[in-house]
Chains A and B, each alone.
Chain A
Amino acid sequence: MTLTTDHSRAVADGAHSHGAVKPQGSRAERLTSFSLEDIPVPNGREEEWRFSPADRLQPLFQSDLGSSGVTVEVTAAPEVKVETVARDDARLGTAGKPGDRTAVTAWNAFEQATVVTVPAEAVASDVTSVRLTGVSADATAAHVLVRAERHSEAVVVIDHNGVGSLSETVEIVVEDGAHLTVVSVQDWAEGAVHASSHRARLGRDAKLKHVVVTFGGDVVRITPDAEFTAEGGDVEMVGLYFADTDQHQEHRLFVDHAVPECKSRVTYKGALQGSGAHTVWVGDVLIRANAENTDTYELNRNLVLTDGARADSVPNLEIETGEIAGAGHASATGRFDDEQLFYLQARGIPEIEARRLVVRGFFAELIHEIGVPSVEERLLASIEAELEKSMSVITGAPTA
Chain B
Amino acid sequence: MPTLEIRDLHVSVETKEGPKPILRGVDLTIASGETHAIMGPNGSGKSTLASALAGHPKYTVTSGTVTLDGEDLLAMTVDERARAGLFLAMQYPVEVTGVSVANFLRTAKTAIDGTAPALRTWGKEVKGAMENLRMDPAFAERSVNEGFSGGEKKRHEILQMELFKPRFAILDETDSGLDVDALRIVSEGVNRAKENTEVGVLLITHYTRILRYIKPDFVHVFVDGKIAEEGGSELADRLEEEGYDKYVGANATATA
Contacts and interface: CB of A to CB of B under 8 A. Distances in A.
Interface of A: 1, 334, 338-340, 342-351, 353, 357-358, 360-365
B79 interface: yes
- What's the dominant secondary structure at chain A's contact region? helix
8 contacts: A339-B94, A345-B82, A346-B54, A347-B104, A357-B107, A358-B98, A363-B98, A364-B98
Contacts of A334: 97
B60 to A, nearest CB: 15
B112 A365 contact: no
A309 B104 CA distance: 27
Contacts of B93: 343
Interface string B96-117: 1111100110011001100000
A146 B57 CA distance: 54
A348 B108 contact: yes
A349 B107 contact: yes
A361 B88 CA distance: 24
B83 interface: yes
A342 B78 CA distance: 7
B111 A342 contact: no
B229 to A, nearest CB: 30
A154 to B, nearest CB: 31
Interface of B: 54-57, 77-79, 81-83, 87-88, 90, 93-100, 103-104, 107-108, 111-112, 143, 160, 164
Contacts of B77: 345
A121 B94 CA distance: 52
A305 B58 CA distance: 19
Contact of A348 (B56, B83, B90, B94): B83
A339 B97 CA distance: 13
A342 B79 CA distance: 9
A361 B164 contact: no
B103 A357 contact: yes
Nearest to A334: B97
Given A345-B79, A346-B88, A347-B82, A361 B98 contact: yes
A350 B164 CA distance: 16
Given A338-B57, A353-B107, A346 B96 contact: no
B111 A350 contact: yes
Contacts of A339: 94
B88 A348 contact: no
A364 B96 CA distance: 14
Q: Which 8 A-B pairs have the closest CB atoms?
A: A361-B98, A345-B78, A347-B108, A348-B82, A348-B111, A348-B112, A361-B99, A345-B79
Contacts of A1: 95, 97
B175 to A, nearest CB: 20
Given A334-B97, A361-B103, 17 more contacts: A1-B97, A343-B94, A346-B82, A347-B82, A348-B83, A349-B107, A350-B111, A357-B96, A357-B103, A358-B99, A360-B99, A361-B96, A361-B97, A361-B99, A361-B100, A363-B98, A365-B98
A362 B95 CA distance: 13
Contacts of B81: 346
B97 A353 contact: no
Nearest to A344: B96
Contact of A358 (B56, B96, B100): B96
A347 B97 contact: no
Contacts of B94: 339-340, 342-343
Contacts of A350: 79, 111
Nearest to A356: B107
Nearest to B145: A343
